């Protein structure tokens, strides 16, 4: 099959690249194992084939073309293509929809024809003269046309010297049908007046006078039904990600030469300006140039509270403008947008394999040949034991039909599909399935202070007016003066004053000493603000003993930055500014403890500041570990020391100086508010800049891992229990077919329970 459509390709510096291929024709986990094995035999190629997503992630070395990989897949008996980009408004059904419709049609027709065959075999009073010939007439199209996908796939695999689940089903159905034809045309079963009773256990009669048309027809119907339910459930598994990626805008109002033009979003270019009206979806990532509004960012972060934006603020594509008109300049378009990057990360995670799934794949790869040998041995054993050809045949058919390895192949990918899709809805991005194992093993969590536990921005945390003065007067004069300051401390004071009092008075005659203080005239009064010594030196009286001196000492003892304010030579008060602790950090630390993680606070700040923040979020410096005054390179050494002590370390950070520590940690978690470097270095990325998202990420990852393990347990247990029953003659082929279909549906349905995962702060571990 020719490759069609553009696809994302990651190119390494040495010319190597990674491509995603859509694989067609796979019907079970052993098919995926065959394709993966063939691709990995190519020199320098590494491939992971995902049965649930019908895709392959292939690492190609320099000099190897995509067409070479496609040819290998086709030579194996399957199809391969680069995935075509999704159309904004598809005009015709996608191939998957057409295949699903064909499967539904086969199932409906086969059910209508197969049900009378089953009733005639099960209810002797319905067996009128020559009823067996009507059964043959009804069963033949079910076996040939309804089961054609199985027979075709079995023949294709046989031509390539392989056996899959289709081989088992096709052999079982054709054996039952061929035996019935022999009984009708060569034996006594075709005689008028022939009667047959239904047996729950495999038939004890001779093959020459016993019919198995109901087995051939109903097994086909049940296998079709199982595949139909499995396909629906698998599609539901990826619904979260598809819904997320479908939320982007279709067109946008671009300003060109001052005139608005409606164009398709793919035609938007970086640097162009576009308008976003209230209620519209923001077309792409950009920066607000004009206007103010509230933006609903829940599609990316899972956070239901709209974010206020204005000139200079960044906005992301696919979020919704809930307020006023915005004029935005595009900064990222197409595959570079935040939404596209989220989709890419989730897709890569879904295409990976956990270690437990690799074991299941190895089992699936040898499972079918073993079952074929077991079926032959079962038939021979029953025949030699004198049970008759009928019992030998039906018992062997039951063994063939019951032994479907699909549940093993679906155990991991369906859980990953649902778990990572749900995580994307909540702003939690998992880099790969191996991360799930790390979340289970982690026992220590290292929390970077600035930007993680705290907001990373200075804020006003305490206001102490002089005796006889008021907070309003102190904030009005200090805030007005600091509007002329560029220092982060001054901006924090000005912002807090404006938030409390509204519009501030004008300031004139401003002079500033960098890092020390600022002086100006506000409402005719000479106001100074800065360090205590600088204010006293420049005309403000020293602070007298009393409330102001006590407030200054307490703030400095807590590691906060202090601002002394004076007006006309008289002290007005003391302001304390600090990097503010996130409101949810204390609850998040408590939740991390309940998840079995011991918190360690890590910061480059001084110890007084570190211990103050630690106590504020529930980390006791006398009991827990608080590491202060650490240089960026020292963060890696802290993680290594903890690992050398035998701990499994999770690291939460957001900055460039956290990247190395995130890589060194057993589990790296980056807040989405941080840098691209930190995000690329992490195993988990939290789009929502909130430490409670780390709690939700660990809970979701652990729940997904438990689901995978549960799926694999039941898939293994099912085959271990069912095969001996079938070989012992205790399982009718009809029941075997129903049980086989149920096993795959059970695994997928169990995975779908992850869609109900909710992100709740303060939740106990589940």
Q: Which residue has the tokens 């009708």?
A: 184
Phi, psi of 443 (to 5 degrees): -125, -5
3-class secondary-structure state, position 397: helix
Q: What is the 3-class SS of 3-19, one letter each residue?
A: CCCCCCEEECCCCCEEE
> Exposed, middle or buried, 41 (CB in 10 Å: 0-12/13-18/19+)?
exposed
CA distance 444 to 120: 66
CA distance 379 to 145: 27
CA distance 221 to 741: 10
Give the number of other CB atoms < 10 A from CB of residue 328: 28
Nearest to 231 by CA among 109, 86, 52: 52
DSSP state string for 558-617: TT-EEEEEEETTEEEEEEEEEEEEPTTHHHHHHHHHHTT-EEEEE-SS-HHHHHHHHHHT
CA distance 725 to 402: 10
Q: Take residue 148 and report the two structure tokens written for it.
A: 């054609």
Nearest to 497 by CA among 509, 515, 485: 485
Q: Take residue 64 and report the two structure tokens written for it.
A: 């190897």
For 200, 208, 209, 257, 728, the CA distances from 386, given in Å and listed in that order, are 20, 15, 17, 92, 14
CA distance 628 to 645: 19
* Contact (CB, 8 A) for 145 and 173: no
**Beta bridge pairs of residue 489:** none
Q: Within its chain, how far is the Cα of 14 from the centroid?
A: 30
For 228, 443, 594, 600, the CA distances from 623, given in Å and listed in that order, are 57, 16, 17, 10
Nearest to 67 by CA among 16, 11, 15, 21: 21
- Residue 687: left if φ>0, alpha if ψ -120 to 50, beta else—which one? alpha
User: DSSP assignment, residue 87?
Assistant: P
- Given 59, 166, 448, 654, the catalytic residue: 448
Query: 448 an active-site residue?
Result: yes
3-class secondary-structure state, position 598: strand
Residues whose CB falls within 8 Å of the CB of residue 295, separated by 6 or more in sequence, listed in order: 282, 306, 307, 308, 309, 315, 319, 320, 321, 322, 323
CA distance 53 to 56: 9
CA distance 278 to 322: 5
625-627 and 598-602 as β-strands: parallel, antiparallel, unpaired? parallel
Q: Within its chain, how far is the Cα of 563 from the centroid?
A: 47
Residues with catalytic roles? 448
């Amino acid at each position: 099959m020719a490759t069609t459509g553009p696809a994302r390709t990651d190119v390494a510096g040495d010319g190597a690249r990674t491509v995603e291929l859509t694989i067609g024709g796979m019907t079970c986990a052993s098919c995926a194992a065959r394709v993966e094995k063939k691709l990995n035999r190519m020199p320098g190629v590494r491939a992971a084939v995902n049965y649930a997503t019908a895709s392959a992630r292939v690492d190609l070395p320099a000099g190897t073309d995509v067409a070479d990989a496609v040819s290998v897949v086709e030579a194996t008996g399957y199809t391969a293509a680069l995935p075509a980009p999704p159309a904004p408004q598809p005009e015709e059904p996608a191939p998957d929809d057409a295949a699903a419709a064909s499967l539904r049609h086969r199932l409906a027709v086969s059910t209508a024809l197969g049900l009378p065959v089953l009733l005639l075999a099960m209810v002797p009073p319905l067996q009128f003269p020559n009823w067996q010939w009507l059964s043959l007439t009804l069963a033949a199209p079910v076996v040939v046309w309804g089961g054609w996908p199985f027979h075709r796939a079995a023949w294709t695999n046989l031509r390539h010297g392989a056996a899959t689940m289709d081989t088992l089903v096709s052999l079982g159905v054709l054996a039952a049908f061929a035996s019935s034809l022999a009984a009708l045309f060569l034996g006594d079963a075709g005689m008028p007046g022939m009667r047959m009773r239904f047996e729950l256990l495999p038939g004890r009669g001779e093959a020459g006078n016993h019919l198995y048309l109901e087995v051939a027809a109903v097994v086909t119907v049940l296998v079709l039904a199982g595949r139909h339910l499995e396909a629906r459930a698998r599609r539901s598994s990826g619904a979260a990600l598809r819904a997320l990626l479908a939320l982007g805008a279709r067109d946008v109002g671009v300003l060109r030469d001052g005139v608005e033009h409606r164009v398709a979003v793919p035609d938007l270019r970086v640097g162009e300006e576009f308008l976003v009206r209230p209620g519209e979806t923001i077309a792409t990532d950009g920066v607000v140039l004009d206007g103010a509004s509230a933006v609903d960012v829940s599609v990316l972060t899972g956070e239901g509270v709209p974010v206020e934006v204005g000139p200079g603020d960044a906005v992301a594509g696919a979020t919704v403008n809930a307020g006023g008109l915005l004029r935005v300049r595009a900064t990222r378009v197409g595959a570079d947008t935040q939404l596209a990057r989220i989709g890419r990360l989730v897709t890569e995670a879904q295409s990976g394999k956990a270690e437990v799934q690799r074991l299941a794949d190895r089992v699936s790869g040898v499972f079918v040949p073993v079952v074929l040998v077991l079926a032959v041995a079962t038939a021979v054993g029953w025949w030699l034991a004198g049970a008759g050809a009928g019992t030998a045949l039906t018992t062997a058919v039951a063994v063939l039909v019951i032994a479907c390895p699909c549940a093993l192949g679906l155990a991991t990918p369906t859980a990953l599909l649902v778990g990572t899709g749900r995580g994307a809805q909540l702003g939690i991005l998992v880099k790969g399935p191996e991360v799930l194992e790390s979340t289970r093993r982690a026992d220590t969590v290292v929390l970077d202070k600035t930007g993680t536990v705290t907001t990373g921005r200075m804020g006003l945390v305490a206001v102490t007016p002089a005796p006889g003065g008021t907070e309003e007067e102190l904030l009005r004069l200090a805030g007005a003066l600091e509007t002329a300051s560029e220092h982060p401390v001054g901006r924090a004071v000005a912002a807090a004053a404006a938030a409390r009092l509204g519009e501030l008075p004008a300031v004139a005659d401003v002079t500033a000493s960098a890092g020390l203080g600022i002086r100006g005239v506000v409402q005719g009064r000479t106001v100074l603000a800065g360090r205590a010594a600088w204010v006293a030196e420049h005309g403000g009286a020293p602070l007298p003993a009393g409330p102001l001196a006590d407030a200054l000492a307490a703030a400095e003892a807590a590691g906060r930055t202090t601002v002394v304010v004076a007006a006309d030579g008289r002290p007005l008060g003391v302001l304390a500014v600090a990097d503010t602790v996130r409101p949810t950090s204390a609850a998040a630390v408590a939740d991390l403890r309940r998840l079995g993680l011991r918190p360690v606070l890590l910061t480059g700040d001084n110890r007084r500041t570190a211990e103050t923040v630690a106590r504020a979020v529930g980390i006791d410096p006398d009991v827990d570990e608080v590491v202060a005054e650490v240089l960026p390179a020292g963060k890696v050494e802290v993680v290594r020391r903890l690992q050398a002590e035998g701990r499994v370390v999770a690291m939460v950070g957001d900055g460039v100086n956290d990247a190395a520590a995130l890589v060194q940690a057993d589990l790296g978690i980056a807040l989405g508010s941080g840098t691209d470097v930190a995000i690329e270095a992490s195993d988990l990325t939290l789009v929502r800049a909130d430490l409670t998202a780390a709690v939700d990420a660990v809970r979701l990852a652990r729940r997904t891992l438990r689901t995978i393990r549960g799926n694999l347990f039941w898939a293994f247990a099912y085959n271990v229990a069912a095969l001996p029953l079938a070989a012992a003659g205790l399982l009718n082929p009809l029941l075997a077919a129903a049980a086989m279909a149920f096993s795959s549906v059970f695994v997928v349905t169990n995975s779908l329970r992850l869609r109900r995962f909710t992100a709740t702060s303060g939740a106990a571990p589940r």
